[in-house]
């Protein structure tokens, strides 16, 4: 009994240390965002600011159009999230419940696209967007990401866990595929859909390379590109850079806090059945 208590205490201690190590970069960023320029550049680094300088956040808002960058990221991430939910939910229903020739082969081919790195398709996507005159536009930022093999796989796994008796009863009542999809499948798989939504939004909120590649106008930049504008060739004020980082982290942290429970529930539920 005593050994079990010691093991439990050691486990809690190890978890506490691991939590501190994981949270350290975030806490250091938050602390440095309130420092003066000299305090943030001093070596060895300080971990506690001498005073809380809220002016750093005001100076960030005056130096770069951070609200515009946040709006751009919000619009792009939201439309990609909604697009992937629509395309993935309908494709997953087809692969889960419809019968058509070559379904297994097509689904395997669909999943095989998950093994292709994004960097391989980046240049063809860029040339396509350029030929269609979609550079420096929301359409160019959104269009290449409206479909997702991962989302289709995740929702198909959630659909397959629904009891078949529900579908038999619905067909006896005269429901077609469209009504079954809207009245049964969507309401019963809301946690999985919320999981896909949160994952997609956060993933594209943090996207850096594609917006950097296809946007040249300042008003079309997203937050990840905009923060780099706080670094200057002559001097970099790290307190301002980190204040900007904290500012752009707030929306994604709020969404993560609100969506963490369905995110974990959906991922673990999708892993139970093949």
Confidence of residue 274 (pLDDT cuts 50, 70, 90): very low
User: Rounded to an integer, what distance in angstroms lies between the CA atom of residue 257 and that of residue 5?
Assistant: 32
Which of 227, 274, 269, 218 is CA-nearest to residue 248? 227
State the burial class of residue 221 (Cβ atoms within 10 Å of its Cβ: 0-12, 13-18, 19+): buried
| Mean pLDDT over the full length of the chain | 86
Decide: 210 and 169 in contact? Cβ < 8 Å: no
Q: Stretch 236-250: mean pLDDT, rounded?
A: 84
Q: Stretch 240-268: mean pLDDT, rounded?
A: 77
Give me the CATH code for the 66-225 domain, please.
Answer: 1.10.3720.10
Decide: 32 and 239 in contact? Cβ < 8 Å: yes
Neighbours of 84 (CB within 10 A): 25
Decide: 107 and 274 in contact? Cβ < 8 Å: no
Each residue of 126-170: pLDDT tens digit? 999 999 999 999 999 999 999 989 999 999 998 998 888 888 888
Each residue of 72-123: pLDDT tens digit? 999 999 999 999 999 999 999 999 999 888 888 999 988 898 888 888 888 9
pLDDT at 273 over 50: no
């Amino acid at each position: 009994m005593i050994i079990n208590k010691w093991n439990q205490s050691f486990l809690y201690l190890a978890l506490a240390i691991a939590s501190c190590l994981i949270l350290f970069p975030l806490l250091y960023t938050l602390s440095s965002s309130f420092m003066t320029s000299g305090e943030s550049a001093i070596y060895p680094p300080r971990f506690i600011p001498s005073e809380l300088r809220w002016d750093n956040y005001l100076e960030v808002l005056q130096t770069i159009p951070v609200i515009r960058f946040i709006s751009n990221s919000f619009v792009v991430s939201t439309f990609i999230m909604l697009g992937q939910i629509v395309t993935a939910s309908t494709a997953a229903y087809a692969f889960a419940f419809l019968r058509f020739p070559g379904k297994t082969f097509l689904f395997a081919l669909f999943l095989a696209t998950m093994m292709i790195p994004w960097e391989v398709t980046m240049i063809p996507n860029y040339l396509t967007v350029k030929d269609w005159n979609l550079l420096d536009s929301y359409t160019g930022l959104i269009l290449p990401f409206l479909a997702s093999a991962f989302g289709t796989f995740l929702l198909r796994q959630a659909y397959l866990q629904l009891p078949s008796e529900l579908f038999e009863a619905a067909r006896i009542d005269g429901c077609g595929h469209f009504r079954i999809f809207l009245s049964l499948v969507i309401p019963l798989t809301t946690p999985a859909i919320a999981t896909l939504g949160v994952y997609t939004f956060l993933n594209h909120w943090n996207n850096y390379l594609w917006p950097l590649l296809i946007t040249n106008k300042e008003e079309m930049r997203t937050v990840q590109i905009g923060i780099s504008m706080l670094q200057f060739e002559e001097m970099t004020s790290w307190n301002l850079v980190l204040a900007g980082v904290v500012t752009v982290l707030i929306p994604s942290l709020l969404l993560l806090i609100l969506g963490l429970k369905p995110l974990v529930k959906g991922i673990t539920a999708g892993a139970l059945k093949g």
